[in-house]
Structures are given as C-alpha cells and as structure tokens.
Amino acid sequence: MGRFLARIQGPVSGNVLLRREQYRRADDPTFSAEMTKFILTGKITNCRTVLQRGLRDHADKMKEEEVRHAVMRMNRVLETLNQDQDLDTLRGIEGETAHAYFSVFDHLIVAQKETFRFEERNRRPPLDNVNCLLSFVYTLLMHDVRSALETVGLDPAVGFLHRDRPGRPGLALDLMEEFRPFIADRLVLSLINLQQVHDKGFKKMDSGAVLMDDEARKKVLVAYQERKQEEITHPFLDEKVKIGMLFHIQALLLARHLRGDLDGYPPFIWK
C-alpha cells in the first residue's frame, strides 16, 4: 500500500561527540533560530524558483499575475530573514510562505486539469490525486534524507525548526525542506504535465483517502530514481554531482557547521 515497513541498518556511524554537540545546539534557542533561518532560506528560495520556472515555461497557460504576486511575497519574506527573530516568529513565516506557495500551485499544473486539480495541501490522508503524489514523494525524500543524516553520524530525530516529538524525525524534516520544491514538487508536476500518470492509477477509498495502484506507484518510483541520477552543479562546492548525492553532501555540510568547521550552514539553493 506504499507504506514504509522495514529497513536494514548497519552499525550506527559517526562520532558520539558530534551527536552530543547536535543535542547541545538543539537546546540553544538562539542557535536553533539561526539554523532555522538557513533552512527557510533554502526552502523559500527554491519554492520561488519553482514558481519562476513555471512562469518562464507556461505563463500563457496560467494565471500569471497571481503567480507573480506569490513570487513577490517570497522576495519580501526572504528579506526579513536578515532580522533577529525567534523560533515562533520564524515558524509563522514558514507557514505564511507555504500558504502563498500552495495557493498558486494549481496554476503550475497545465495538463489533465480536471483530474489533477489542486485546491489545498492535505495529508493523513491525502484527499486528491495531487496530494497523494506529493505525500508519497515526500515520504521517499524523507527516508533518503534520514539515511544521509545517519550515515554522517547525526541523529535524525533532533531538529531545529521541527522540535522534538516522539516518532518524528525532526532533523530529517528540517533538511528535506530545501529539497521539497526542487526534487519532490518538480517531479510531481512533471509526472502530471507530461502525462506520465493518469487518473485511472488512483483510487478513492470509502474514508476519502486517495491511493495509487501498483502500476502508478511503480511509475513514480522509477521516475524518482531516474531523477536522482541526473547531474547538477552544487552551488556551494561548485562541482558536478548526482542529485541523489545532494542529501549526503548537505548532511556533511551540516555536520561541519555543528563541529565549527563552517561559520554557517549553506543550504542547497537551486539556480
């Protein structure tokens, strides 16, 4: 049914001193706020780029003015991240930006509009085809990010923006924020707009939840793995890397920041 069942895990790697430093920093409200600014800078910038790319490629097929207005709102929010702000304020900014982004997300869907209409973000369960795709790809992304964090010796449960909650991988959710628009949202839009998925691959349950059938799920999984094999120039390292390696690279950069080897955490910013 597309639910995570199990995994095989080797010995926990990394230096215990790194994890202890992670825990200390996560307990520091000032450091957590600074980390949250890095996280939001990556997320909001990449969301803005998704909208700008949509305008560039399909402006004649969408409500251009509304999308441009959302881009302007994101520009203003990015400017405010230079100011001193506490975690609660930053969470409010994150929520406001997500609302602005998803309020125009439907305009980026330019094919199969009747069966892939997006009104709002919903999950647990997803109530339409688009949200079903988004939730599924977000889950794939989260597990990849969590594995990358564990590989470099960080605890995926202890985050900065996403605070401690039993069963929640807070740091994995933090790190995946910068990848949601670039990898997950773009993939979902491509699958729909290029008509690689169709309405017949989705089924609405009596509860209202929408699930993919096996064939549709396979298409998404193959597309996700193929996307990870594509190459991109890393904006901080200035080297060509496969997209699938970005999770590990960003986890390493985060570990270096926590150790004090980097003055700040450089989020992945899509250009």
Contact 184, 48 (CB under 8 A): no
**Fold (topology level) of 16-259:** Four Helix Bundle (Hemerythrin (Met), subunit A) (1.20.120)
Contact 220, 137 (CB under 8 A): yes
The pLDDT value given to residue 124:
85
The pLDDT value given to residue 14:
62
Name the band, by pLDDT with cuts 50, 70 and 90, for residue 140: very high
Query: Assign residue 112 a region: left if phi > 0, alpha if psi is -120 to 50, beta otherwise?
Result: left
For 128, phi then psi, to 5°, come to -150, 175
**Cα 204 from chain centre:** 25
Query: Given a cut of 90, is residue 4 above it in pLDDT?
Result: no
The pLDDT value given to residue 2:
61
Question: What does the alpha-carbon distance between residue 194 and residue 99 come to, in Å, rounded to a whole number?
Answer: 26
Mean pLDDT of 25-30: 95
Query: Given a cut of 90, is residue 78 above it in pLDDT?
Result: yes
Q: Can you state the angle between helices 214-229 and 129-151, rounded to 10 degrees?
A: 50
The pLDDT value given to residue 13:
60
Q: What predicted TM-score, i.e. pTM, was given to this entire model?
A: 0.91
Q: Express each pLDDT in 115-125 by its tens digit.
A: 999 988 988 88
Contact 266, 252 (CB under 8 A): no
According to DSSP, the residues that pair with 211 across neighbouring strands are 203
Name the band, by pLDDT with cuts 50, 70 and 90, for residue 63: confident
Q: Express each pLDDT in 204-252 by its tens digit.
A: 998 889 999 999 999 999 999 999 999 999 999 999 999 999 999 999 9
Question: What does the alpha-carbon distance between residue 71 and residue 231 come to, in Å, rounded to a whole number?
Answer: 27
